[in-house]
Amino acid sequence: MLYAIDNIRIDGATYSVEWLESPDIPKACVAAVSYEKQKICIYKSHPEHDLQSLLHEIVHVINYNRLGEKLEESEINTIGCSLAQIILDNVEEIITMAGTGLTEIESDDDHEDLEL
């Protein structure tokens, strides 16, 4: 269950995840990340939207750690929404991948792009 996630590893660091009851706040302010505290806070709404919010904040962490904050907010939003939809559309496949025991991803730097 989504709301059982209370910690998540991102780029080798453990971020705590806090699910908050949603107060009357503007829709534009539903989640935040603190890089220094390694903490993500999300106001609960609907599970599908909250998954997107979590992924959105994860993309912020990646943007901060690896890209020097080069991505614009609209790009972060697009990536977060796309990842959420991929997960929702492929739940069985993701469960299968999770069961493979894979624990580390290699860098793509040494691989050439596959031509189709």
Asked if residue 114 is part of any domain, the answer here is no
Residue 64: predicted pLDDT: 97
Asked if residue 103 is part of any domain, the answer here is no
Range of the domain at 80: 2-98
d(CA 72, CA 104): 28
d(CA 36, CA 46): 28
In the chain, how many domains are there? 1
Tens of pLDDT, residues 58-102: 999 999 999 999 999 999 999 999 999 999 999 999 888 888 877
Are 94 and 40 in contact, with CB atoms under 8 Å apart?
no
Asked if residue 116 is part of any domain, the answer here is no
Alpha-carbon distance values, 84 to 48, 50, 97 (Å): 8, 9, 16
Asked if residue 50 is part of any domain, the answer here is yes
**115: confidence class by pLDDT, cuts 50, 70, 90:** confident
Tens of pLDDT, residues 23-61: 665 566 789 999 999 999 999 989 999 999 999 999 999
